[in-house]
Amino acid sequence: MNHAVVRRIAWGAAAALLSFGAQAQNIRVAYIDPLSGAFAQTGEQGLAEFRFAVDQINKRGGVLGGRKLEVLGFDSKVSPQEALNQLKRITDQGIRIITQGNGSNVAGALIEAVNRHNERNPGKEILFLNYAAVDPAFTNDKCSFWHFRFDANADMKMESLTTYMAGQKNIKKVYLINQDYSFGHAVKKAARDYLARKRPDVQIVGDDLHPLGKVTDFAPYVAKIKAAGADTVITGNWGQDMSLLVKAGKDAGLNVDWYTYYAGGLGTPTAMGEAAAGKVKIIAEYHSNVANNKAAKWDADYRKQAPKGNPDFYFLRGKIMWEMLAKAINQAKSAEPKAIALALEGMRHAADLGEVEMRKSDHQLIQPLYVFTLHKTAARGGPKEARIDMEGSGLAPVTDARLEAFTSAQPTSCQMKRP
């Protein structure tokens, strides 16, 4: 406890000293995500990718004719309370831009805190760049001028996923299984609504919610899916809830296609193993075997220096985020959050896989998405597109469909209050 206080005072003093001659300083961005505990590796992955992205921008000359960007890691422990403590440290250090992605609960707390801070400290506003927290509320009723989301939200992903599913005539009976918390509920609701609209002939034969991360044995759920006669399962599960489900399905000889959000998440392909081959589909903005991949060199360069244990390049949206931030700073000719935010609003950007737009009305990035299936790598008898596997698991993503940016765009209920 004493340590923390001493450290805070020291940081405060250091920040005060630095702020005197800070004009030609680096533009610092605080990365608030888990850097210890069970999700540390996920947090470390984002940090490593962002450091790489920032290095690339700095090598090309930085922003504002020579100033450099810098990312600093702050441990959120995926806890809203911890993230708010870190936000205090961050403001004490005079950092004005933050980025976060793991946990919509954390993102929600940060949005509120940033709004409050910015109201009380005019001229010292903070900008929040969200790269992965997908609760639709953040760009609807909880939208904020200071928050920008670079990931497609849960509803947008389901919109694209169901657009793809609408064309799959072999889908007749769908089973929904999700984790029993806000995100799982959002996936369940969106799946029901959008399927009813796009494929009214599809029958929803089952709908289960199970506690988050507490189920060891998914065999009973699989027996239920099987008894319901489902040919397709939609799930927002992540982590071990995802891998255990697919493994249990394979053991029981369950023959279904899995439509997922996060089966590509760190560690999951390894845990699922070949049980997933040809069966598991994922919706995301990027995978390493995507066609006409203008980010291929970036991807390869990243892999060459990637930390051990996190070999893959995962967040194309992270690359997009940093490129757009640099562009906005240059356009605004300022590193002031308000000026950056005004430049980011409505910005169009020629990203590696097609044009993206930061929608002005709700600060949601509209970008193309891909539905892809995990296959055995070409070397192990899979399709020839299955070149680069995920985390050395022998499972490689292959595109099923590209869904253009407009497919996923949703109406928004956001009533943005601009300063």
Binding footprint of another protein on the chain (CB under 8 A): 38, 40-41, 180, 208-211, 213-217, 219-221, 223-224, 226-227, 240, 243-244, 247, 251-253, 266-268, 270-271, 273, 309, 391, 393
The single-letter DSSP state of residue 276 is G
In the complex, the smallest distance separating the C-beta of residue 362 from another protein, rounded to whole angstroms, is 31
In the complex, the smallest distance separating the C-beta of residue 71 from another protein, rounded to whole angstroms, is 21
Q: Which long-range contacts (CB under 8 A, 24 or more apart) does 187-196 make?
A: 187/154, 187/158, 187/234, 187/235, 187/236, 187/261, 188/236, 190/154, 190/155, 190/158, 190/159, 191/158, 191/162, 191/234, 194/158, 194/159, 194/162, 195/162, 195/165
In the complex, the smallest distance separating the C-beta of residue 308 from another protein, rounded to whole angstroms, is 9
In the complex, the smallest distance separating the C-beta of residue 278 from another protein, rounded to whole angstroms, is 17
Q: Give the chain's end-to-end CA distance (angstroms, integer).
A: 38
Whichever of 119 and 251 has its CB closer to another protein, that residue is 251
Whichever of 23 and 216 has its CB closer to another protein, that residue is 216
Whichever of 244 and 351 has its CB closer to another protein, that residue is 244
In the complex, the smallest distance separating the C-beta of residue 248 from another protein, rounded to whole angstroms, is 9
Whichever of 247 and 359 has its CB closer to another protein, that residue is 247
In the complex, the smallest distance separating the C-beta of residue 230 from another protein, rounded to whole angstroms, is 13
Whichever of 94 and 278 has its CB closer to another protein, that residue is 278
Question: How many Cα atoms within 13 Å fall on the side-chain side of residue 318?
Answer: 25
SS3 366: strand
Whichever of 45 and 162 has its CB closer to another protein, that residue is 45
Any alpha helices (H) in 21-134, and if so which ranges? 40-59, 80-92, 104-120
Please, are residues 261 and 238 in contact by the beta-carbon 8 Å criterion?
Answer: yes
Whichever of 270 and 407 has its CB closer to another protein, that residue is 270
In the complex, the smallest distance separating the C-beta of residue 43 from another protein, rounded to whole angstroms, is 11
Question: How many Cα atoms within 13 Å fall on the side-chain side of residue 18?
Answer: 15
45-76 burial, b if ≥16 CB within 10 A, otherwise e?
Answer: bbbbbbbbbbebbbeeebbbeebbbebbbbbb
